[in-house]
Amino acid sequence: MPFSKTGAELLFEVTSRAYERQSLIITTNLPFEAWIEILGNEWLTGALLDRFTHRIHIVEGMGHSLSVGAWPQIIDAIATHIQEAAGH
């Protein structure tokens, strides 16, 4: 389901404010190539993905959908992945 123009701009604004100041966790079931359709603007999508993919750690899950109750394990797995990538 595509974002409204305002929704896409708000997502960009939140991401831009957090960029290099805060960590963000983004979940999606769509490949990056499909984001132009969702956000409705090629320039905005490119700028948003540029911010998302700078210093990124991608944790790709395959299989069943995860429930809210699984988030503690997900956060632990992400933290472990980041620590391993940093050599700790």
Q: What is the DSSP string of 22-66?
A: S------SS-GGGHHHHHS-HHHHHHHHHHHHTT-------SSPP
- Residue range 63-81: average pLDDT? 72
- Do 50 and 84 belong to one domain? no
- Do 32 and 50 belong to one domain? yes
Domain that holds residue 7: 1-56
pLDDT at 70 over 80: no
Q: What is the pLDDT of residue 65?
A: 63
Q: What are phi and psi of 20, to 5 degrees?
A: 60, 15
- Do 88 and 69 belong to one domain? yes
- Do 47 and 67 belong to one domain? no
Question: Tokens 């700028």 correspond to what residue?
Answer: 47
- Do 11 and 40 belong to one domain? yes
Highest mean pLDDT: which range of 13-22, 35-44, 52-61, 63-72: 35-44
- Residue range 33-62: average pLDDT? 84
Neighbours of 48 (CB within 10 A): 20
Better-predicted residue by pLDDT, 71 or 50: 50
**pTM confidence score:** 0.60
- Do 48 and 73 belong to one domain? no
Number of domains in the chain: 2
- Do 52 and 66 belong to one domain? no
- Residue range 10-33: average pLDDT? 84
